[in-house]
Amino acid sequence: MLLEHDNGARAMAAEALGELHDERAIEPLVAALRDDDQDVASKAAFGLAALGELGGRRLLDSLQDHDGRVRGWAVTALTAAAVDGTFEGNRAIVPLQPLLHDPDVDVQRAAVQALRLLGDWTSMPTPLRPDAYTAAVYTDHGQFYFCDGQFDGDVADDSDLDWPNRWLSTGPRTFIRVSTTTPSGAVPVAIEVMDGPLENGFDGWEHVEEISLDVPSGRIACRTLFGYKWGEPAELMAPMGTYRVRLYANTTAMGVYGFGYGDYYRFVLWPAPYEAPLVLRSNPEGM
């Protein structure tokens, strides 16, 4: 079926092969990564991702393929497998790093976002602290919660009329709603707890905004809308108290390949009294 002239038939065949969970499907799916039809190649990539360990080892080899299409879709498939937990993402970090300098700019962009989702934020405007917490957080309906670890998720009666003009909105003082470019899926998040705000400016960031958060439990968490369960919750320990939270946000335009929409979010927190939200930089047209 992968040899059919009809694009739709080849795409359906690639999807069906991925659902077999049979190592005999690996080579036909890898070959389909070269397909000129993006839907066929995409279905082949996610089919390989569904094979987990079976497909993961072959995909690592494909990152060095001479064909940029194979490299690009291999990045996509490896990222999907790592995010879904069917392949250990740490094994892909070192093989992905050379693709940051790939001659195909679409492969570069896919590799940058893949590495961030896997916790490697090497390629970014300003370096993270060595003790920064990184995670892939699930966003749904274009949002997720950044909140105290004991927040119950009940925001039905809370409103923030200014929210459409900002990326962050408040309800209870233990809760922040984060608006995302990705409508549904995994986004890279980095969190740093500091003694005070960063002094290195906003260069390289499209949007920078501050808001306050109470953390009475001593835990900070990223939660999914409506409490949907998806993997392990992103959570870190922090001294109890009130924090100022600065969000740095970017959207990297993704090309043909890649997993998600290319947006990523850096949170910097420091102890400070509770204050009103403040937009420090907003450039919706990009940097």
**How many domains does the chain contain in total?**
2
Q: Do 178 and 212 have their domain in common?
A: yes
Q: Do 177 and 85 have their domain in common?
A: no
- Give the domain CATH number at 268: 2.60.34.30
Q: Do 109 and 148 have their domain in common?
A: no
Question: Residue 183 falls within a domain, yes or no?
Answer: yes
Q: Do 155 and 211 have their domain in common?
A: yes
pLDDT at residue 42, as a whole number: 85
Question: Residue 79 falls within a domain, yes or no?
Answer: yes
Q: Do 110 and 154 have their domain in common?
A: no
Q: Do 139 and 107 have their domain in common?
A: no
The chain-wide mean pLDDT, for the chain, equals 84
Q: Do 111 and 137 have their domain in common?
A: no
Question: Residue 125 falls within a domain, yes or no?
Answer: no
Q: Do 106 and 146 have their domain in common?
A: no
- Give the domain CATH number at 23: 1.25.10.10
Domain boundary among 83, 117, 151: 117
Q: Do 43 and 111 have their domain in common?
A: yes
Domain boundary among 117, 146, 162: 117
Q: Are 247 and 266 in contact (CB under 8 A)?
A: yes
pLDDT at residue 1, as a whole number: 46
Question: Residue 57 falls within a domain, yes or no?
Answer: yes
Q: Do 11 and 91 have their domain in common?
A: yes
Q: Over the stretch 100-109, which tens digit does the pLDDT of each residue have? A: 999 999 999 9
**pTM of the entire structure?**
0.85
Q: Do 192 and 268 have their domain in common?
A: yes
pLDDT at residue 193, as a whole number: 95
Q: Over the stretch 42-89, which tens digit does the pLDDT of each residue have? A: 888 888 888 888 888 889 999 999 999 999 999 988 998 888 888 888
Distance CA 109, CA 123 (A): 10
Boundaries of domain holding 180: 133-282
Question: Residue 246 falls within a domain, yes or no?
Answer: yes
Question: Residue 82 falls within a domain, yes or no?
Answer: yes
Q: Do 68 and 151 have their domain in common?
A: no
